[in-house]
Structure 1
Amino acid sequence: MKNKMLFQWMAALTLLVSGALWATNGVDLSQSPEVSGTKLGTVHMPKQQGRMALNYVNQPPMIPHSVDGYQVSKNTNRCLACHGVQSYRTTGAPRVSPTHFMDSDGKVLADVAPRRYFCLQCHVPQTDAAPIVENTFTPSKGFGN
């Protein structure tokens, strides 16, 4: 019961924060495959592209395709239609990591753990956008391009 309430609270908070971020950034996702926003300008969201190299240990892989129109709710997760344990073999998509089936106590679950169910919390679509804020980040040794 406690886990279910925590999951519902986290889901509601995620939706609230996501909505607030989209509203404050002026991003209109309905314009995909191009995203228009006052700060972003116009950004091309490719339908398919090669996977980008990771920049640090345990970095969540980026999504090499558009996710426009993907539904992820407590009842359905469009990502799992291709990346799920039962479907990845027929779709050719990478399988969901086994770590996504562990709860916070390390117990292995039969389904994706609630804390890992909302894929777009960690995995983001790749894009050719210029950085909004200049930074001096460099990949860890042995990582990146």
Structure 2
Amino acid sequence: MKITSLTKRLIQCLAALALVVSGALWAADGVDLNQSPEVSGTPEGSVRMPKQQERMALNYVNQPPLIPHSVDGYQVSKNTNRCLQCHGVEHYRTTGAPRISPTHFMDAEGNVLSNVAPRRYFCLQCHVPQTDAAPIVENTFTPSKGFGN
């Protein structure tokens, strides 16, 4: 069966519609997609992000390290990346921040690049601020043997 460009476009539109509907259902379920993780008050259910804390243990092999500080107000866009001002190869020695991993300079084919690879540039897609907040959804996750607390 030959798939025409009209069929491809219809499939793309249906996929986009499914994403919109699932987002609307998620928001209707009481999840605020615009809520900042840093809350200044202490009402029940709020999360207080510490300004700086010790690094937490990882829970599994190759887990992206958690961020031990607030990232409120950090800008990460195609033109600027606030994270690299401390963690970049030019700055980590003077800031004392951990250096960005060499794996972040490799493209999808394994070629080493002179700058951070585009697929690794948006830090907050993998690295998240750490907190000791209760899980939103109960689960039975336990760290791999030798990891975690």
The two structures share one fold, judged by TM-score above 0.5: yes
Aligned-partner residue type, residue 35 of structure 2: D
Cα displacement (A) at 1:35: 8.3
2:115 matches 1:111: yes
Aligned equivalent of 1:92 = 96
Aligned equivalent of 2:35 = 28
Q: CA RMSD in A?
A: 2.6
Q: Which runs of 5+ in 1 are unaligned?
A: 1-15
1:102 corresponds, among 99, 106, 109, to 106
Aligned-partner residue type, residue 84 of structure 1: G
Cα displacement (A) at 1:129: 1.1
Q: Take 2:113 and 2:57, find their aligned partners in 1: how far apart are those partners?
A: 30
Q: Under a length normalisation based on structure 2, what TM-score does the superposition of the two structures give?
A: 0.75
Structure number with greater Rg is: 2
Instruction: Using the aligned pairs only, state the percent identity.
Output: 76
2:133 matches 1:126: no
2:84 corresponds, among 80, 86, 93, to 80
1:28-67 map, 5 Å:
28-29=35-36, 32-34=38-40, 41-67=45-71
Per-residue CA distance 1:58-98 (angstroms, 9 max, x = gap): 00000000000000000000000000000000000000000
> 1:36–1:124: structure 2 CA closer, same or farther, 3 Å change rule?
farther
Which has a greater percent of strand? 1
Q: Under a length normalisation based on structure 1, what TM-score does the superposition of the two structures give?
A: 0.77
Contact kept in structure 2, 1:83 and 1:94, CA below 8 Å: yes
Per-residue CA distance 1:115-139 (angstroms, 9 max, x = gap): 0000000000011210011111111
Aligned-partner residue type, residue 28 of structure 1: Q
Aligned-partner residue type, residue 32 of structure 1: E
Aligned-partner residue type, residue 72 of structure 1: V
